[in-house]
Structure 1
Amino acid sequence: MYIRNLTQQLEIDYVVKDIWPFLLHKHTHFEMLYIMRGRGQHMINGTTYNYEKGDLFILVPQDNHFFVFQERSAICIMKFHEGYFSDFLQDAKFKDLFTALSSPYRKVSAGCKNKQDIMQLMELIIREHRKESAHQQIIIKHALSLIITLTAKDAGEQLSTAKDDKIQSVLNYIHQHIADKHLLSVQKMADTFHISKSYFNQYFKNATGSAYKKYVQEYALKLIASQLVGRNKTLTQLAEEFGYSDESHLNRAFKAHFNLSPSAFKKQQMRRSIVYTG
């Protein structure tokens, strides 16, 4: 697994892409990831979270993560070391709040009482980062400290309802077994999660906004696209790994989804500049 390091105390980057440009990886620093637009799934430490505009994720050192975009997404990524807040950490209360970032919850709750305030602070950080001003660094640092304070207040709250917990388990199962198609049949899924087979497709569509078969196929193709570019695997290897009958079958499915052949897609991605350098 790739490990990304941070050489500065604070770094702010943006990803604006149709597909997440990085393989599953972990960091040696903290990250806040603010969803500026788009929707999809964010896999963190084996748990899947749906995301949409306005969501905020907080990652701590050694977390691993990966995105699957369902549509073009824009993400602001703030990376920092604990030392960035060394002066704030002299305050015992703030130190306790900072420690709370290591709670098992990585997504700010949709029902968080402070979410609107957090969103406004994130927008402030983005505006300040995009312009040069004498007080830019002070404003950004204090805004981040306020976000830490507000999120820590809700660290003990469950981030999803019981209903959401089931669909998260369903998504986690899909992602874990994406290369084992026999484990992803509607009958198998219905049996595994104790949902009527006749109701499963409707349940999945209501919970995710996507048809089940389409979701599974698109998720596999996005993983294939990522590995095609990031790991330089051949179509033959990927077809075998992801359960396609042969290379031509995968080629047709890939082209139908991305409107490009795998080779053209790879060339396009290699040409594009990567906004987020990690």
Structure 2
Amino acid sequence: MDKIINKSVLIENLELNDANSKEPSVDFYFQIIIILEGTGTRYVNHTSICYEPNDIFVFTPNDCRTFYPLTNTNFKSVKFTKQFYNQLSNVSKLNLGAIEEKINLSNIKGRKIIYEGSHDAEIIQSLVEIIEKESNSSKYQQQNLENIILVILNVIYRNIEYFQDNLESNYPEKKINAIISFIEKNIANPEKIKIEAIAREFNYSKTYINQYFKKYTKFTLKKYVETYRIAIASNHLKHSNKNIKNIALELGYTDESHFNKAFKSATGYTPSQFKK
């Protein structure tokens, strides 16, 4: 784990796998997460969403959050310290406050940023790399760092506004969120999360809803359902006293054998191996 620490920002390159996933907790920082490698589920404030490489999430200080990795996950964490906030000008403090308020009031699923421009994710990652270089430079200047951070936050703000404006105009993300919420609500009911049932719920054909969902999430419905079930199962195995049979039944598997097969296919471990 690499760390870059100064008075204003903490940047960490972190790795997560099934063995070191943690219970959800509140981290009192304004934080940006950039997924570098891996897949799984990102949990925040009682909602969850699948993630993949190049996804970017943004969190405010009171968000309750964690990862449930499906595969080994590498990500970059950028945290802005209290001192960073204290050193800002009054105008910059107002800007940061507006960004935080916009995030909290928006309906962004799992705090995942939806981009207005195809290059905005690359811009954010490039600016974070500049922060890392600036922090290690002998010519490092605090004001330069803060200016770069404010640019990042303004790119995020613009994308949140874009998301919100289009959500109100029936932007597809609204429908995607509804489909995801339906899946999560009915995850223990196999009949309701079949493609036919989901298509019927949202008045689409089976073929169209699967293509539609994959276009905006990069997951087929079947893959999303299974990824979410495995993520929930992983959490139960690590952080509860439930036995494997009960976990399998709670998540809608026909029996423990089917659950064992699905879990090993997804993670490389049997549930009993994972639980140890």
Q: Which TM-score band (shorter chain)?
A: 0.7 to 0.9
Shift of 1:47: 5.5
Structure that is richer in helix per residue:
2
Residue 34 of structure 1 corresponds to 34
Residue 74 of structure 1 corresponds to 74
Residue 265 of structure 1 corresponds to 274
* 1:124 maps to 2:130: yes
Between the aligned residues of both structures, percent identity stands at 27
TM-score normalised by length of structure 1? 0.74
Residue 3 of structure 2 corresponds to none
Separation of aligned partners in 2, 1:114 and 1:198: 31
* 1:181 maps to 2:190: yes
- Unmatched runs of 5 consecutive residues or more in structure 2: 1-6
Residue 65 of structure 2 corresponds to 65
Task: Describe the superposition over 1:43-83 as per-residue Cα deviations: whole angstroms up to 9, x where unpaired.
Answer: 44455556554443211122233445565432111233444
**1:66-105 alignment runs, 5 A limit:** 66-67=66-67, 69=69, 72-88=72-88, 91-102=89-100, 103=102, 104=106, 105=108
Shift of 1:240: 3.0
**1:76-225 alignment runs, 5 A limit:** 76-88=76-88, 91-102=89-100, 103=102, 104=106, 105=108, 106-112=111-117, 115-127=121-133, 133-134=137-138, 138=142, 140-158=145-163, 162-225=171-234
TM-score normalised by length of structure 2? 0.74
Where 2:253 maps in the other structure, the secondary structure is coil
- Unmatched runs of 5 consecutive residues or more in structure 1: 1-7, 268-278
CA distance change for structure 1 residues 170 and 126 in 2, over 3 Å: closer, same or farther?
Answer: farther
Where 1:62 maps in the other structure, the secondary structure is coil
CA distance change for structure 1 residues 231 and 84 in 2, over 3 Å: closer, same or farther?
Answer: farther
Residue 11 of structure 2 corresponds to 12
**1:232-251 alignment runs, 5 A limit:** 232-251=241-260
Contact 1:49–1:168 at 8 Å: present in 2 too?
Answer: no
Where 1:85 maps in the other structure, the secondary structure is helix
CA distance change for structure 1 residues 45 and 137 in 2, over 3 Å: closer, same or farther?
Answer: farther
Separation of aligned partners in 1, 2:75 and 2:147: 21
Contact 1:68–1:219 at 8 Å: present in 2 too?
Answer: no
Task: Describe the superposition over 1:4-34 as per-residue Cα deviations: whole angstroms up to 9, x where unpaired.
Answer: xxxx975433332455823344333321112
Where 2:204 maps in the other structure, the secondary structure is coil
Contact 1:34–1:57 at 8 Å: present in 2 too?
Answer: yes
Task: Describe the superposition over 1:60-110 as per-residue Cα deviations: whole angstroms up to 9, x where unpaired.
Answer: 12223344556543211123344432011xx23211210122212534442
Q: Which deviates the most, 217-226 or 75-84?
A: 75-84
Where 1:148 maps in the other structure, the secondary structure is helix
Contact 2:70–2:230 at 8 Å: present in 1 too?
Answer: no
CA distance change for structure 1 residues 249 and 36 in 2, over 3 Å: closer, same or farther?
Answer: closer
Where 2:161 maps in the other structure, the secondary structure is coil
CA distance change for structure 1 residues 251 and 51 in 2, over 3 Å: closer, same or farther?
Answer: closer
Shift of 1:171: 1.8
Separation of aligned partners in 2, 1:153 and 1:163: 18
Contact 2:116–2:163 at 8 Å: present in 1 too?
Answer: no
Contact 1:23–1:227 at 8 Å: present in 2 too?
Answer: no
Shift of 1:206: 4.0
CA distance change for structure 1 residues 154 and 37 in 2, over 3 Å: closer, same or farther?
Answer: same
Write the letter of the residue equivalent to 1:111: E
